[in-house]
Amino acid sequence: MITASHAARLSPPAADWRTLWREAVTDPHELLALLGLEQLASRLPADDAGFSVRVPRGFVARMRQGDPLDPLLLQVLPQLAELDQVPGYGVDAVGDMAARSAQGVLHKYQGRALLIASGSCAINCRYCFRRHFPYGDEMAAAGQWRKALEHVRQDSSISELILSGGDPLSLATAKLEELSRGLAEISHVTRLRIHTRLPVVLPERVDEAFGRWLGELPLQKVVVLHANHANEFDASVDAACARLREAGATVLNQSVLLRGINDDADTLTQLSERLFAADVLPYYLHQLDRVQGAAHFEVDDAEALALVEAIRQRLPGYLVPKLVREVGGEASKRPL
């Protein structure tokens, strides 16, 4: 018999990440209401320009109440400025179409192949190139991994496989297990890198089963997170980062430099300090990819360089991210 005192000692079941995923906020009016910002409704674009609102409730909880300029809110709230047509901003900003070498594989750089493992994300970031990418045709996981892995198998120069997307952690762990079984037969791949925003926006995704899968992979493991502001971190994100490290992963972070969100030296300094508090090292600070609908987020190169110079004077060298731009057709990300 379970007595009241016995029941109290049982910890509540951890929320399943798929449930939390499904319960994300997808209505911009609800998002504004949750933050006490109903008055901003008149500034929403009439339609979502083909890229809907999506934000997990745990991430909304890290936004400040009543602040229309909250740096987390600005990453997900549609703006009228998205409808502006700005010269130089296209739908394939970084030449992904030209780099496609097999279904779902982007092979741009020596030694590294990137698999578009999934087209889904738990959050829709307004500045993202993903707004326009034809994921329907390009998902490695849509059918199976077979074609993508066949490409990797046939090119022994590939030592690092990068899972990207979309967000590869949107896949069920069972699907990732299929991938690792296929990878086990390709001896020239010695590193697996995962680019994911899920440990930040839906940290419950890094659950026990995922930790076990990662921990048992007989490869070197790198996880590159994506956080743009210190406020994106809380204890649940710290716990997810700790679990990734316990599974043997090196954990890094990449950010995008975003106008009005993290384009000042104090904010970037706090971000690096907060990352390190979670045992995460900053890797890249990206200049925005010039995708249609995102021009209002751009920070020009001169200002970006001055910002990085300013944080270099305040932070230890290992907390200063590399400022880069992705340029289609080049052999690496371009340092500024």
Binding site for ligand PLP (CB under 6 A): 106, 108-109, 112, 114, 162, 332-333
72 Cβ contact list (under 8 Å, min separation 6): 59, 62, 63, 229, 231, 232
Q: How far is the CB of 98 from ligand PLP (least distance, A)?
A: 11
From candidates 31, 128, 179, 271, binder to ligand SF4 by CB under 6 A = 128
Q: How far is the CB of 118 from ligand SF4 (least distance, A)?
A: 10
Query: CB under 5 to 8 A by kind: which of ligand SF4, ligand PLP, none does 109 bind?
Result: ligand PLP
Query: CB under 5 to 8 A by kind: which of ligand PLP, ligand SF4, none does 108 bind?
Result: ligand PLP
Are 144 and 97 in contact by the 8 Å Cβ rule? The answer is no
Rounded CA separation 262/172 (Å): 32
* Identity of the residue, 315 or 326, whose beta carbon is nearer to ligand SF4 in the bound complex: 326
Q: Does 227 bind ligand SF4 (CB under 6 A)?
A: no
HSE, side-chain direction, 13 A CA sphere, residue 167 = 23
Q: How far is the CB of 224 from ligand PLP (least distance, A)?
A: 7
Tell me the chain's radius of gyration from C-alpha atoms.
Answer: 20
53 Cβ contact list (under 8 Å, min separation 6): 25, 26, 27, 28, 31, 76, 77, 78, 124
- Provide the residue type at 281 as one letter: L
H-run or E-run covering 115: strand 112-116
Percentages helix, strand, coil for the chain, rounded to the nearest 5?
40, 15, 45
Q: How far is the CB of 154 from ligand SF4 (least distance, A)?
A: 28
Q: Does 290 bind ligand SF4 (CB under 6 A)?
A: no
Rounded CA separation 267/310 (Å): 11
* Identity of the residue, 63 or 315, whose beta carbon is nearer to ligand SF4 in the bound complex: 63
Rounded CA separation 70/81 (Å): 17
* Identity of the residue, 55 or 320, whose beta carbon is nearer to ligand PLP in the bound complex: 320
* Identity of the residue, 199 or 211, whose beta carbon is nearer to ligand SF4 in the bound complex: 199
Q: How far is the CB of 285 from ligand PLP (least distance, A)?
A: 13
Query: CB under 5 to 8 A by kind: which of ligand SF4, ligand PLP, none does 51 bind?
Result: none
* Identity of the residue, 122 or 252, whose beta carbon is nearer to ligand PLP in the bound complex: 252
Q: Does 125 bind ligand SF4 (CB under 6 A)?
A: yes
HSE, side-chain direction, 13 A CA sphere, residue 8 = 3
Question: Binding residues for ligand SF4, per CB under 6 A?
Answer: 121, 123-125, 128, 130, 165-167, 197, 226
